[in-house]
Amino acid sequence: MNLRSLPSSAALALCLAASPALWPAQAAAAGCTVKVGILLALSGSLGELGQDNARSAELAAQEVNAAGGVHGCKVEVALADTQTQPSVGVTAAKGLVDLKGVRAIVGANSSGTTMAVMRSVTVPSGVLLVSPTAASTEFTSLSKQGLTKGLFLRTIMSVKDEGPATAYVAAKLAKWKRISIVYVNNAFGRTYAETTERTFEAMGGRARIVPYNLNQPSYRAEVTSALQGNPQALVLIAYPTGGQSILKQWISAGGPRHFLLANSVDTQHFVDILGAKYLDGAWGVTLGAQTGQPGYKAFADAFAKHYGKPPSAPYDSNAYDAMAVTLLAMAASPPQAGGRTLAKAARAVTAGNGVAVGPGVAGYRAALKALAAGRPVHYVGATGALRIDALGDVKVPVVVSRVTAGRLIAAKTLGAHEVEALTSIAP
């Protein structure tokens, strides 16, 4: 019998008021399950990324189950596809909340879809939404205004911090003086491009920014505009499908073969499709994990063992951490706690206090044991030591890559403190 079906409201009140040490036994005795949604782009322009993001989130849930579950209950994951479309995402989210009864959702991929889901579904329903990829600054603004009601968190850093890091790579590492930035025309791409432009020009360079819309038959006009001013390089802030067409048309038009691939196009798959002869020497920037750290290695090894291939897409570690933080927050809260309580608990398990625990079954077993005893834990995730603040924002490392002999290889990692320092350069 599920706790929701208990005939006595007094029994439920007693359960919620009980000490943490009693929560697992009470939940297990009730035979409950913990339902969590995964709402990601499994198709559409971000489907190439969303599928492995979903696998990463599911992996975390499976490991928590192997460690004993949340309050002794099995985690049940309900998976839904946004098709990279806000309207589809809203319908899918309603299904997760109204039909599946999920208490929290990991998702979505794009900032636009995430925003629509948050406004139309999760905030009105009091459900926690934890995005591994929505990097628009609009979420911070809405949180400051109280419009998220504390129900939105993310394990990805805002583009207001990523733009300056991208400008630093272009100006200081690649040493370019003139760049064109072609960006996907949505809240994410626009803010990313504008903050990159401001910081690059504050560093003494000159930047031209050109938007593009999704699903166009041709991007010749955008490429022609981007080639004005004799740029030395192209900074591409794009989704994979459109990004492939833009880069091919740039090369066809005789543009310089100097590139900086940002986020969704900073992948080995993207390099493989375009070809090493065009992209060798290209730079890449993504918000990702410090791959040499124990947390990432534990995640990557488990992913490879489970799925027969290593994680490769951007945001895989962020998606894994989004699920891990969500489930640890549930374990740190009374059974059936609401979204705002879960959000507060998520901030607590990333605050840096308590027993340090990492990814993997052994890490979750230690975390669940500590939480059941009423002791705090500090989750150090696959992406690193996350710290989610009161606005739901987080700082993560920025990984700088180079394409060498057809392989995308991590060349440098900018830590959270370095990234924060770069944000002060531009007005």
pLDDT surpasses 90 at 153: yes
Residues 6+ apart with CB under 8 A from 5: none
Task: Tell me the domains of the chain and their CATH numbers.
Answer: 3-156+315-379 (3.40.50.2300), 159-290+397-422 (3.40.50.2300)
pLDDT band at 195 (very low <50, low <70, confident <90, very high): very high
Task: Give dist(CA 93, CA 100) in Å, integer.
Answer: 10
Would you state the structure tokens that stand for residue 124, as one six-digit string? Answer: 């009105």
pLDDT band at 267 (very low <50, low <70, confident <90, very high): confident
Decide: 45 and 240 in contact? Cβ < 8 Å: yes
The rounded mean pLDDT for the chain is: 89
Q: What is the pLDDT of residues 60-73, one digit of tens each?
A: 999 999 999 999 99
Average pLDDT for residues 277-292, to the nearest whole number? 82
pTM of the complete model beyond 0.95: no
Q: Is 245 helix (H, G, I), strand (E, B) or coil?
A: helix
Q: What is the DSSP string of 253-267?
A: TT--S-EEEEGGG-S
Please report the pLDDT score of residue 95 as a whole number.
Answer: 98
Rg (CA), the chain: 22
Q: What is the DSSP string of 157-214?
A: --HHHHHHHHHHIIIIIS--SEEEEEEESSHHHHHHHHHHHHHHHHTT-EEEEEEE-T
Q: How many helices (H) and strands (E) does the chain have?
A: 18, 14
Burial class (CB in 10 A: 0-12, 13-18, 19+), 21: exposed
Region of 107 (left: φ > 0; alpha: ψ -120 to 50; beta: rest) is left
Task: Give dist(CA 22, CA 208) in Å, integer.
Answer: 60
Please report the pLDDT score of residue 204 as a whole number.
Answer: 96
pLDDT band at 118 (very low <50, low <70, confident <90, very high): very high
pLDDT surpasses 70 at 13: no
pLDDT surpasses 80 at 151: yes
pLDDT surpasses 60 at 14: no
Decide: 399 and 158 in contact? Cβ < 8 Å: no
Q: What percent of the chain has pLDDT over 90?
A: 70
Task: Give dist(CA 299, CA 36) in Å, integer.
Answer: 20
pLDDT surpasses 80 at 292: no
Q: What is the pLDDT of residues 413-426, one digit of tens each?
A: 887 778 888 888 87
Task: Give dist(CA 350, CA 371) in Å, integer.
Answer: 13
Angle at 306 between CA 302 and CA 309, to 5 degrees: 90
Helix %, strand %, coil % for the chain, to 5?
50, 20, 35
Average pLDDT for residues 102-113, to the nearest whole number? 93
